[in-house]
Amino acid sequence: MNTIKEIIREHLKYRNQIWKLAKTDLGKNYKGSVLGWAWAILKPMITLTIYWFAFSIGLRSGKPVEGYPYFLWLMAGMIPWFYSRSALTGGASCLRRYTYLITKIKYPISTIPTFVNLSNFLVHLMLTAFMILLYMAFGFMPDIYYLQLPLYMMMAFLFWNFWGLCAGMLSGISRDFLNFVKSITIGFLWLSGIFYDVSKIPNEWIREVMLFNPITIIVNGFRNSLIYDQWFWENPTELRNYAIVTVVMGVLSIWIYKRLKKDIPDVL
């Protein structure tokens, strides 16, 4: 409990610095480019277009879903994935990216994963807004189910914040862990139901295990809000799985932080 109180106290005390550093972190990614922040939209759209071409034109497997073009169905999964990918690797590398804050300024370690995650989340907000505009351009107007999107976005933010604290500490101690995270990132793309509906997997055991993946839960939440018109309480199993995984990640991150916070400055 003392560790939890310490983390909360540091976040409250440094809340203004967290916001400023999040904006600074976001600016670093596009510094020096002519288009600047426009790349926050352009890069994901280029990637999404390539996948759409591969599945709809090349493999000819991109059939409409519930009356929605496959491109929009795919986009509802890719937008959460872009945030998840950035949070997965960004959270693991956050302490090594900002070593000077720990070794020279004595900035509170627990807040570093937060402002890095917040930076990625700001891009996620822009991409989600762009996605909604694109849905409207295709003739699909927002409805009451869209009100769930902020809930799923905050669920993702909470989980990845815990992940950043846990993975950031482990990567700070060992660069091998960071390399491991980078090596498995592409695997999560194919194992999280981005290109297919996990609920339609015939093997029940595999399906149940995959529904413990927080990325899959958030992707399903986006598609339920945008396409399938389902409320979050209609999927109690996914909510239960999310709660279990997030609580476990939260406890683990706090325990690791408590054990390693004194060693991190010396190791870095």
Please report the pLDDT score of residue 197 as a whole number.
Answer: 86
Dist. CA 265–CA 92, nearest whole Å: 16
CA separation for the pair 96, 36 (Å, rounded): 25
Residue whose tokens read 């958030």: 218
What is the identity of the amino acid at 21?
L
Per the DSSP assignment, residues forming a β-bridge with 65 are 68
In degrees, rounded to 5, the angle at the alpha carbon of residue 166 between the alpha carbons of residues 163 and 169 is 135
Alpha carbon distance 102, 100 (integer Å)? 5
Q: Which residues of the chain are modeled with pLDDT < 70?
A: 30-38, 56-62
Cross-strand partners of 68: 65
User: How many helices and strands (H and E) does the chain possess?
Assistant: 12, 0
User: What residues have CB less than 8 Å from 132, skipping those under 6 apart?
Assistant: 142, 146
State the Rg of the chain over Cα: 19
The pLDDT tens digits of the residues spanning 33-64 come to 555 666 777 777 788 778 777 776 655 566 77
Identify which of 166, 194, 180 has the alpha carbon closest to the alpha carbon of residue 82: 194
pLDDT of the residue at 163: 96
pLDDT digits (tens, 9 = 90+) for 70-113: 888 989 999 999 999 999 999 999 999 999 888 888 888 999 99
The residue extents of the domains of the chain are 2-267
Q: What are the residues whose beta carbons fall under 8 Å from the beta carbon of 266, sequence distance 6 or more?
A: none
Taking each helix axis from N to C end, the angle separating 214-223 and 149-173, rounded to the nearest 10 degrees, works out to: 160
Q: What is the pTM (predicted TM-score) of this model?
A: 0.91
The CA-CA-CA angle for residues 184, 251, 8, to 5°, reads 110
